[in-house]
Amino acid sequence: MKTPFESLPLFPATIAGSLPKPAWLAEPEKLWAPWKLEGRALDEGKRDAVRVAVSMQEKAGIQIVSDGEQTRRHFVNGYMEKLEGIDFTNLKMVRIRNRYDANVPRVVGPVTRPKPVHSDDVKFLRAATTKAIKFTLPGPMTMVDTLYDEHYRSREKLAMAFAQILNQEARELAALGVDVIQFDEPAFNVYFDEVRDWGVAALERARQGVECKTAVHICYGYGIEANNSWKKTLGEEWRQYENTFPLLAKSSIDQVSLECANSHVPMELMALLKGKDVMVGCIDVANNRVETPEEVARVIRNALEYVPKERLFPCTNCGMVPLHRDVAAGKLAALGLGAALVRKEAVQPGTA
């Protein structure tokens, strides 16, 4: 029998990760928003929110479904707060992603994972849909870059320690039926020397022996002020991917997720990912305007000049957690419909 992943149609739509949370679960349109429930009510609330997120995606025609990160407050800290060796009470102000100051947790001893973090979440998601499922984890370099390290005193050593932890987690999640495990590495767009020296190696350590597809998501960040002003300094053409794509093309990672819609990323850079599945960002997450299906289709058609059709996965540029729910629902629908338009053209050439 074919797995859900093997049964995917052409141009299977998927999302980079997060979706907005319901207003009864967490404060809307906010990153790292505190929970509004506690105890058992919180556990139930998270699961109900996952049901809603799954149903939103299925209705929109999304083929590889995620839990919308409804059970986590933040894509990096949500994982790290389950580990030992990290102090989340006395935070420290440091510059992260080389562009903004944030109060981050401190590494105070060896980092370890006392127990599996997301097994229950994956069991629940696997039971909630028959579609192919994706689960996102933070990448080792991005974890290192969201902390103050008082113990390892080496970004590389700390990254490798995280990579081992992520590897155990990813193997378990794959065994529970996840089709795609995606590591989020926005830091790959910032520290090019480190990506070359140890970043890709850490990522490969994290995916070693994982028996499902593995992906890496590299973006220019959520549509928050610090990122928007950083993007203004990047010039007419954003060529950051030019540094990392050739390294990823040689790596064991199966899929790469990148920003494309409304960005200044030259489309031809996707040609550097030869041999990889490419998740093409067709939805801008940094504004509230809902794309039309035709606009999504146009991005996919342009990408087809550089990516073979069986390797093209229409996607969002990044997570949608800071957006209004109605906006996110509209963008999801546009993504599903836009992918369907191009799928129809590929099946019946010349009828567009």
Q: What is the CA radius of gyration of the chain?
A: 19
CA 53 from centroid of its chain's CA atoms: 15
Residue 42 CB, nearest approach to Zn ion (Å): 26
- Taking the least distance from each CB to Zn ion, the nearer of 318 and 332 is 318
Place of tokens 């319901």: 22
Please report, as ranges, the residues that interact with Zn ion according to CB under 5 A.
219, 318
> Would you say 9 and 340 are in contact if contact means Cβ atoms under 8 Å apart?
no
- Taking the least distance from each CB to Zn ion, the nearer of 71 and 136 is 136
Beta-bridged to residue 213, according to DSSP, are: 180
- Taking the least distance from each CB to Zn ion, the nearer of 45 and 322 is 322
> Would you say 263 and 238 are in contact if contact means Cβ atoms under 8 Å apart?
yes
> Would you say 140 and 206 are in contact if contact means Cβ atoms under 8 Å apart?
yes
Residue 348 CB, nearest approach to Zn ion (Å): 34
Q: Which residues, other chains included, contact 250 with Cβ-Cβ below 8 Å and sequence gap of 6+?
A: none
And the tokens for 123?
């069991």
- Taking the least distance from each CB to Zn ion, the nearer of 108 and 327 is 327
Residue 244 CB, nearest approach to Zn ion (Å): 14
> Would you say 284 and 234 are in contact if contact means Cβ atoms under 8 Å apart?
no
- Taking the least distance from each CB to Zn ion, the nearer of 96 and 219 is 219
Half-sphere exposure of 136 (CA within 13 A, CB side): 31
Residue 238 CB, nearest approach to Zn ion (Å): 14
Residue 138 CB, nearest approach to Zn ion (Å): 11
- Taking the least distance from each CB to Zn ion, the nearer of 152 and 222 is 222
CA 286 from centroid of its chain's CA atoms: 15
> Would you say 145 and 195 are in contact if contact means Cβ atoms under 8 Å apart?
no
Q: Which of 146, 179, 178 is nearest to 162 (CA)?
A: 146
- Taking the least distance from each CB to Zn ion, the nearer of 215 and 318 is 318
And the tokens for 49?
């929110």
CA distance 212 to 217: 16
Residue 186 CB, nearest approach to Zn ion (Å): 5
Residue 83 CB, nearest approach to Zn ion (Å): 22
Q: Which of 191, 113, 182 is nearest to 145 (CA)?
A: 191
- Taking the least distance from each CB to Zn ion, the nearer of 25 and 318 is 318
Residue 120 CB, nearest approach to Zn ion (Å): 25
